[in-house]
Amino acid sequence: MARPRVLVTRRWPAAVEARLSDIFDVRLNTADRPLTPTDFRAAIREYDAILPTVTDRIGAPALECDRPQTRILANYGVGYSHIDLNRVGQHGIVVTNTPDVLSECTADLAMTLLLMIARRAGEGEREIREGRWTGWRPTHLVGTKVSGKTLGIVGYGRIGQEMARRAHHGFGMKILAYNRSPVAPEILAQCNATQVDSIDELMPLCDFVSLHCPGGAQNRHLINSARLALMRPGAFLVNTARGEVIDEAALLHALWFETIGGAALDVFDGEPDINPQLVASDRLVMLPHLGSATREAREAMGFRVIDNLQDFFAGREPRDRVN
């Protein structure tokens, strides 16, 4: 029987590409150039499976086709707000993602950002690299203590829970959780967390707020000027979820007028283009979407895609189907 034809839209870890090539009739993207909507339209006429990732916008322009050959989009990444599930569903295409395997590394990075903004690590590093450091002094780059403070987590899914674990068991932080659905008491108990009913209730109670909810239209500007205004004056906002979750204009306003202590972002609305005004703010730590960027997580994500593909082509329900 002919092997399924599979297109990988970006460069993947070598070990995963090798395994894919063993199993499927694979076209790799050795140049690592993102596909255009035109490329994508051509691909869904040709390949049985496409393996996209967060940089591939899969909406109406990419999906214009009466009878696609593609039967599965096996996404490399846990977030899938870049895929228009309605339109994909109209073509009968199955979509899968890669949960679990990146939760710990993404939470590690959220904790990195939290510590960096609280302890002014970005400012300190810039000072040394630019030759501006004049030596130790009691008033130099004084930051905010993290241990024992209150952390609010928006989105108490797998990554949110890993963040809570690090903050509570590593730093003795008190955990408040906001989640759309009720969180099981035994899950909350693992970090002695308390679930609150709304983000509005959460914001004024926290020294740090970390976002771990999905992106997409439903959560666009979930953190807006009204909610930023509810934060404590010295509080910090951390975002490793999706850029669109924060209204960046409102965030800039809060940073300029110092109504919050600062923010630490791994994701940006419209990335990789970054609002130049964000770059100018010293109350901001920024990383280029590194949440899952460890060798271990990136390989595990790829192997998880392979599991989903093998199940699908063997006629089994893929474990990570999202539509």
The site for ligand DGY (CB under 6 A) is made up of 54, 77-79, 102, 291-292
Active-site residue flag, 253: no
- Distance, in Å, from the CA atom of 302 to the CA atom of 323, rounded to the nearest integer, reads 20
* From 242, 283, 298, 304, active-site residue: 242
Nearer to ligand DGY (CB atom), residue 203 or residue 263: 263
- Distance, in Å, from the CA atom of 199 to the CA atom of 213, rounded to the nearest integer, reads 12
- Distance, in Å, from the CA atom of 238 to the CA atom of 285, rounded to the nearest integer, reads 9
> Minimum distance between the CB of residue 278 and ligand DGY, rounded to whole angstroms?
19
> Minimum distance between the CB of residue 121 and ligand DGY, rounded to whole angstroms?
22
- Distance, in Å, from the CA atom of 300 to the CA atom of 184, rounded to the nearest integer, reads 27
Nearer to ligand DGY (CB atom), residue 48 or residue 156: 156
Active-site residue flag, 242: yes
* From 10, 283, 289, 298, active-site residue: 289
Nearer to ligand DGY (CB atom), residue 79 or residue 122: 79
Closest CA to 79 of 50, 61, 60, 106: 106
> Minimum distance between the CB of residue 99 and ligand DGY, rounded to whole angstroms?
9
* From 64, 271, 299, 321, active-site residue: 271
Which tokens is 66 given?
């009466």
> Minimum distance between the CB of residue 159 and ligand DGY, rounded to whole angstroms?
9
> Minimum distance between the CB of residue 81 and ligand DGY, rounded to whole angstroms?
9
Active-site residue flag, 271: yes
Cα end-to-end distance, the chain, whole Å: 28
> Minimum distance between the CB of residue 180 and ligand DGY, rounded to whole angstroms?
18
Kindly report each contact of residues 251-257 with a partner whose C-beta sits within 8 Å and lies 24 or more positions away, as own/partner.
251/223, 251/278, 252/277, 252/278, 252/281, 253/225, 253/228, 254/225, 254/228, 254/229, 255/281, 255/283, 255/284, 256/281
Question: Rounded to 10 degrees, what is the CA torsion of 155, 221, 90, 56?
Answer: -90
CB count in 10 Å sphere of residue 108 = 18
Nearer to ligand DGY (CB atom), residue 160 or residue 261: 160
- Distances in Å between the Cα of 42 and the Cα atoms of 7, 61, 82, 88 are 11, 11, 19, 15
Nearer to ligand DGY (CB atom), residue 252 or residue 290: 290
> Which of helix, strand or coil describes residue 247?
coil
Nearer to ligand DGY (CB atom), residue 285 or residue 305: 305
- Distance, in Å, from the CA atom of 153 to the CA atom of 194, rounded to the nearest integer, reads 10
**Residues recognised as catalytic:** 242, 271, 289
